[in-house]
Amino acid sequence: MSTPTRTPRKKLTKHAGPRHDHLKRHGPVKVHTQIDYVTVNAEDVIVYVDSQGKPVSTTTVHRNQPPPTSPPAPPPSPSPAPNPLPQPQPQPQPQPQPQPQPQPQPAPAPAPAPAPAPGPDKPSTGGPVSSGPGFKSGVSYTPYNADNSCKSRQQVATDFTKISGYDVVRLYGTDCDQVSNALAATKGSNVKFFLGIFDIAQVQKEAETISNAVKGDWSRVNAVSVGNEMVNKGTDPGTVIGAIGQARGALKGHGYNGPIVMVDTMVAMTNHPEICKASDFCAINCHAFFDGKTPAEKSGEFIKGWVDKIGKATGKTVVVTETGWPTRGDTNGVAVPSQQNHQAAMKSIQGAFSNNVIFYSAYNDMWKKNGQGTFNAEQYWGIMGNAPSA
C-alpha cells in the first residue's frame, strides 16, 4: 500500500487591506438567535418521472385556499425515486414521450483486454515459448567436412536422419548456413535449437543471420549463446558481458525474447560468476575426462558437483552445454579414452541428471586438430561415431 504524501503548509503572505485570516478569539462571545415565520401561498408543481426517476414533464396547480393552519406533515422520507402515489396519468395534453434515453446500456463493455505483451521469455510470434532450461536431452552438432569445408544442405539433412531422441540440438555459430540447413532438416519435428553467436565481434551480423534463418518463427529456438569458452581462452569478462547485452538488444530487435547466455568452462564460471549473472541462466562446458582424477563411471558425480556448486553461488539454474567422453586418444591420469568408457560415462551422466544436459557431440569432429593439450582426443567424442555424410 502506498503512503499518502503530506503537502507542506504554505506560508501566509501579509497583504495591505482587509484580512480574512481566522484569528484567535479573545473573551466569550454571546450569540442571539431570532426566528421569523412567514407564510406564503405558492403554486403546486407536479413532476412526472419515468421508471428511472428522471423528470419527463411538469404540471402547475393553482391554489386559492390558504394553507391549512395545522402544522405541515413531515416531509416524506427520502426514497430512491420520488414516484407520486398513484402515479398520475398525463392530463389533457399528450404527455411528451421521454426521449429514448440512451438506455442505460451497460457502459460500452470494455473491449477485451489485449493479450499481454510477450514477456522476457516469450517469442513475439505467439508460438511456443523458447523454453531454455528444462529440456530432457540434448546433443551438439557441427556442419563441417574433414577438410574444414561447409557441408551442403543435403549433407546436413543426411546427418540429421540419425540424430533422434533429443529435445535440443546445439549449434555453435551461423556460418555455412547451418541454422537454416538444420531447421530445414528437422522441419515438422519437435526439435529445438540452442543457437550460437560464435564471434562476439560480429554480434549484429550473426544476430541478423539467425533472424533471416528462423523467418520470424522463434518457436524452434531454445536459447542463444554468445561466444564459447571466451573467458577460459583469455577474453576479459567485461568484454563478454558487453557482448551479451549487445546480443540481447540485437535479437530483441528481430523479435526474439528468449534466453541469452554466455557459455564457458565450469572453472571460468566459478571464478567469474558475473558472467553467469549477466546471462539468463548459467551455461557450462564440463568434461570429467580433463580432470584426470575421475574415471568414466564417476562422470555424473563429478559434473553434478560442479553444477551444484555454481548454482548455489549464483542462485541460477545451471545447464551443462557440453559433456561426454572420448572413444580414442591418450590417457589422462585415470581417465582412459575408449568406447567402453564412453558408454560408462554416458550411463553415469544420465543417471545423475534427468534434464538440462547437452552431450558432446553427435558425431566425431574430423575437421578438428588433435594435440597433446587435448590428449589427442579432440576428434573422437562422437556418440554415433563418424557422420553418415562423411
Active-site annotation, residues: 322
**Sheet order of strands, 260-265 included:** 318-322, 282-285, 260-265, 221-228, 192-197, 168-170, 138-140, 358-359
Q: What is d(CA 351, CA 280) in angstroms, rounded to the nearest whole number? A: 26
> What is the CB neighbour count within 10 angstroms for residue 182?
25
Residues 208, 234: contact at Cβ < 8 Å?
Answer: no
Q: If DSSP codes are grouped into helix, strand and coil, which group holds residue 247?
A: helix
φ and ψ at residue 246, rounded to 5 degrees? -65, -40
Q: What is d(CA 327, CA 11) in angstroms, rounded to the nearest whole number? A: 87
Residue of 135, 119, 122 whose CA lies nearest to 319: 135
List, as own/partner pairs, every contact residues 142-146 make where C-beta atoms lie below 8 angstroms and the sequence separation is at least 24, other chains included: 142/171, 142/172, 142/361, 142/365, 142/367, 143/171, 143/176, 143/178, 143/181, 143/182, 144/176, 144/365, 144/367, 145/366, 145/367, 145/390, 146/366, 146/367, 146/390
Q: How far is CA 386 from the centre of its chain?
A: 40
Q: What is d(CA 48, CA 230) in angstroms, rounded to the nearest whole number? A: 86
DSSP state letters, 109-136: PPPPPPPPPP-TT--TTSSS----TT-S
Enumerate residues 6+ apart whose C-beta is below 8 A from 311.
282, 317, 318
- Per-residue cell: 11: 506560508
Residue of 177, 256, 176 whose CA lies nearest to 220: 256
Strand partners, 86: none
- Per-residue cell: 167: 529435445
For residue 102, what is the enclosing H or E element?
Answer: none
Enumerate residues 6+ apart whose C-beta is below 8 A from 180.
212, 213
